[in-house]
């Protein structure tokens, strides 16, 4: 239909131009919210340095970019923690594209990618102040679980079985 715009979710290298830009925006967004002020470019560079994103390639992980009407507007990754569990990470939708169902489609695609890597369970950690993200996870069947890792920006942990039964 003319005028209809839709999302497309595709696996993509974490260091492609679009993926890199989205990862920078993700970090700037979450850091700015945490600090209560805009993160500087140097702070974003520091946050991205050594963040482990290079692990988000098969067979251990995967990175996905979401495009809305052809524009790269969302991203996320999954990382296998062990033989059964995948961790959801770097889930981000640009503010201008929020409310257009992209986060739900991205989450579904990331769960599919985790299953393809052999995961039977998805886990994630986030901060208490990221209320929109927490609401998204709960809407999609995630529930709070005990901490499976620790770190300075980890305040709440979620998990979900990826297999029926």
68-106 pLDDT, tens digit per residue, is 999 999 999 999 999 999 999 999 999 999 999 999 999
Sheet order of strands, 7-11 included: 7-11, 61-68, 71-80, 85-93, 121-126, 156-161, 143-144
Binned at pLDDT 50, 70 and 90, residue 143 comes out as very high
Q: At which residue do the structure tokens 């369970």 appear?
A: 121
Alpha helices in the chain (DSSP H): 17-35, 41-48, 102-116, 131-139
CATH topology of domain 7-120: Aminopeptidase (3.40.630)
The answer to whether residues 98 and 65 touch, using CB atoms and an 8 Å cutoff, is: no
Least Cα distance to 126 among 157, 92, 87 occurs for 157
- Read off the pLDDT of residues 15-70 as tens digits, 9 standing for 90 and up: 999 999 999 999 999 889 889 999 999 999 998 988 889 999 999 999 999 999 99
Q: What's the pTM value of the predicted model, to 2 decimals? A: 0.92
Residue 78 and residue 114: Cα distance in Å, rounded? 6
The answer to whether residues 126 and 155 touch, using CB atoms and an 8 Å cutoff, is: yes
**In the chain, domain spans:** 7-120
Strand partners, 92: 75
- Read off the pLDDT of residues 96-133 as tens digits, 9 standing for 90 and up: 999 999 999 999 999 999 999 999 999 999 999 999 99
The answer to whether residues 80 and 60 touch, using CB atoms and an 8 Å cutoff, is: yes
Least Cα distance to 27 among 2, 11, 4, 49 occurs for 49
List the structure tokens of 87: 């961790």
pLDDT value for 2: 46
pLDDT value for 1: 43
List the structure tokens of 39: 């993160």
């Amino acid at each position: 239909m003319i005028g209809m715009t839709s999302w497309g979710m595709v696996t993509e290298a974490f260091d492609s131009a679009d993926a890199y830009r989205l990862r920078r925006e993700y970090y700037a967004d979450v850091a700015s919210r945490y600090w209560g002020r805009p993160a500087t470019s140097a702070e974003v560079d520091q946050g991205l340095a050594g963040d482990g994103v290079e692990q988000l390639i098969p067979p251990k992980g995967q990175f996905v970019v979401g495009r809305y009407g052809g524009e790269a507007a969302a991203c996320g990754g999954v990382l296998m923690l062990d033989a059964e569990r995948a961790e959801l990470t770097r889930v981000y939708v640009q503010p201008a594209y929020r409310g257009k169902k992209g986060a739900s489609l991205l989450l579904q695609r990331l769960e599919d990618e985790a299953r393809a890597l052999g995961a039977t369970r998805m886990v994630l950690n986030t901060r208490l102040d990221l209320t929109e993200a927490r609401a998204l996870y709960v809407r999609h069947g995630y529930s709070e679980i005990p901490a499976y890792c620790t770190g300075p920006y980890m305040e709440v942990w979620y998990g979900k079985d990826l297999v029926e039964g």
